Amino acid sequence: MDRKLFPVLLMIVVMVVCSFNYSSGQQAELDSEELESYTLEQLLAIPVVFTAAMREQEMSKAPSIVSVITELEIRNMGARNFEDILRTIPGFDVIHFNTHIDIQIGIRGLSSSSDNNKVKIMINGHSLRSFNGAPAFYFNFIPIDNIKQIEIIRGPGSALYGTNAFLGIINIITKDELDTTAKVNLKAGSFNTYKPTLELFYKKNSLKTYFYADYYKTDGPKLDIESDRATQLFGPDYSAAPGKTAANAEFTSFFFTASYKDLSFQSFFHRQFDTNTNIGLSKALTDETKINTQAYFGELKYHLQASEKSNFVIKAYYDNHRYDALYEIFSEETASLFSQIYPDTPYPEGMGIHSGPVGVYSILGGEISLDYKIASSITLLGGTLYEHIKWGDLKHVLNGNVTGSPLVLDGVTYGNMQYVGGFRDVTDEANWSTAAERNITALYLQGIIDVKDLMSLNAIGESLILTTGLRYDDYDDVGDTYNPRVGLVYDPTKKINLKMLYGTAFRAPSFRELYNLNNPSFIGNTDIKPEKITTFEFFSGYTFNKQLSGGLTFFDCKIEDNLEIVDIVHENIGKVHSRGIETEFKYHYNVHKYGYLNFTYQDVTDTTHETISSPLGTSYTQDNFNPGSIPSLIGNIGINYDLTKNIETNFAINYIGPRKRSEEKTFDENGNLIQVDQRDDIDSLVLGTLSFTLGNFDFFKNFECQLSVYNIFDQDHRDPDASASLENDVPRPGRNFYARISYFF
């Protein structure tokens, strides 16, 4: 069967199954214990969300395009990490970085050039950041076993949440002290992977606590790299390619919440030990990198509901991210070449070329907000925020001159990649970044107006709600910015839900983009300014019956002042335009029988119109072009079905359409205009996941086990390498397995 037709046929099958009236038309019954385990919203499939407007709303009333993933859905799908979860969401394209073991999130065909700093990632409303502007190196390792609900917004959110709420928001709502079921999990799978977890609860009078801990270790897949950047630069004799990837990782995480009356506290700690990279920082195959990062935060919050009309929240927090790495920039094969170039200073046999950056990023901040209902039809939310951010304790250790410039140590000048006689501390001579501080002040105001109630427009339909907002952010290093939003939500009938949304967002440059030094690939630029995006969205939703609903979203996004690297320097030169359609259907019969189907079509063009020059003095102004690596079509389908009282199965398909290469033009050495990336396009891909869960046994009700299979069709899965350093892109694992055993008490 043609694999391109396979997902279409599967989608048709699932829609037929979802339309079938299970149990001969009789509503499947749940026993009383099961009913008590789930909220009313889960049972009725009407999610309540907080993130869209900083207040609880039915998802249909939220002034954003929102997706919700529940604890139950995460458990049933056999998700190992956030990559598995995000692959089910409309408009999301998830690929692996080739420079470290984490995922790069694309939303509506747009993504960050480094890490995920164009997506606001939060835990219970608390932003996760590092010197890169995002939870660098550990987002995909954030625990998923302690999640109650994930609220995902596609579209801008800076009018409430400031920087990084650019392409979307991922707010992770964790279990808390109100949950009462303790649990022990043991997970194990392919590549010698295992992960034990523990959840504990304590409650006495007004004091309630929740604690989560895990430990994760994996050898990672060993995948073939045929050619890499070292092959291109130095030839195959001085590259580790062809060879195998190194993706071993080890970490531990802790999460804790406590509340006493109106006071609450949450904290998160994550520590990585000697984690390797998929390939290498320089996109050359290596196997001896050691990344040691430590990230934690603590947040104290006071929430006072003074009356039925007002809510007052004040919170103070401290974040810390320590980055400590020893990268193998090039392998020992490449080092042997420079031993020949500099015969007086040869690298020891078996030693690669290494660089070890160290830095500490910290945030001390506070926020005050007041939600007040000034009339039955008007609610106002106002708030202010202040943060002091510090970047320091910088250190740089290396064994070869990787700075891109001559390096003078103890009066001796070392050339490019020359061995410096061992691992040397070059913090004073060639540090990798500059210490810096940043102060942020923000003010925001939002109004929610029930227009139907305010103007007594009973004839217009069920509801008409207008949301407007504006946020002002002032950065003492990169300037200030205003970001508005307007959302109109209209329900002409109980079955029809319409949303018309407009908003802008910004992303402040990260400290890496501002202050990076002594790097042959990119350096910082203190003159850059925040990126901006303007987004228009129109949503039309329809509820067919209590079980089946669907929706169609049109979106149009324009980025200006996009940060790009020009001759190794960060510059605000880019303009990008994305537009397309998202459609989604959900069927929810009960907590055991449900399904979803979604498609995204996206058309992305670079509209910068940059002018380039040839060696012969001629010039060319770029037309609008496809920036490459972006699938025009993404489709997802999933179905959950209980085969028996004790066996539940979950099947999901992620279809990723063909990815074209960048259509950007350049001049060759003869002055001919050619396409920058001339490799063949990447074929479409069908990734399947199948999970079986066994539990609810009469003789052992507190026990549950699960077996999951990923990439069940054993596809040749490759993520795009836009740099073209890897001729055959970034390989991903074939068919692999994961098992879970859980005990509830």
Ordered DSSP codes for 345-413: SPPPTT--EEEEEEEEEEEEEEEEEEEEEEETTEEEEEEEEEEEEEEEEEEEEEEE--SSS-EEETTEE
338, 418 Cβ separation under 8 angstroms:
yes
Residue 544 in domain: yes
In CATH, what number is assigned to the domain containing residue 354?
2.40.170.20
**pLDDT score, position 177:** 65
- Domain ranges, residue 12: 6-608+628-661+677-744
Q: Kindly report whether the peptide bond that precedes residue 242 is cis, defined as omega within 30 degrees of 0.
A: yes
Over 70: is that where the pLDDT of 13 sits? no
The structure tokens listed for 677 are: 């990336």
**pLDDT score, position 278:** 83
264, 301 Cβ separation under 8 angstroms:
yes
Residue 619 in domain: no
**Cα–Cα nearest to 69, from 144, 17, 126:** 144
Please tell me which residue, 617 or 93, carries the higher pLDDT value.
Answer: 93
Residue 358 in domain: yes
Mean pLDDT on 254-261: 95
Residue 666 in domain: no
The total of structural domains in the chain comes to 1
**pLDDT score, position 217:** 97
**Digit-coded pLDDT (tens) for 159-174:** 999 999 999 999 999 9
Residue 671 in domain: no
> What contacts 37, CB < 8 A, 6 or more positions away?
none
**pLDDT score, position 182:** 87
**pLDDT score, position 43:** 44
Over 90: is that where the pLDDT of 5 sits? no
**Cα–Cα nearest to 559, from 608, 524, 510:** 608
Q: Which residues pair with 693 in a beta bridge?
A: 648, 706
528, 509 Cβ separation under 8 angstroms:
yes
Over 80: is that where the pLDDT of 263 sits? yes
**Digit-coded pLDDT (tens) for 98-129:** 777 889 999 999 998 768 899 999 999 999 99
Residue 11 in domain: yes
Q: How buried is 228 (Cβ within 10 angstroms: 0-12 exposed, 13-18 middle, 19+ buried)?
A: buried
Residue 618 in domain: no
Mean pLDDT on 376-381: 95
Amino acid at 137: F
**pLDDT score, position 7:** 41
Using alpha carbons, list the distances in angstroms from residue 249 to 138, 278, 649, 744: 11, 10, 30, 28
**pLDDT score, position 181:** 75
Task: Choose the most confident range, by mean pLDDT, from 43-57, 469-483, 516-530.
Answer: 469-483
Q: Does the reported pTM lie above 0.95?
A: no
Lowest average pLDDT, out of 440-449, 458-467, 696-705, goes to 696-705
Residue 168 in domain: yes
**Digit-coded pLDDT (tens) for 278-320:** 888 899 999 999 999 999 999 999 999 878 889 999 999 999 9
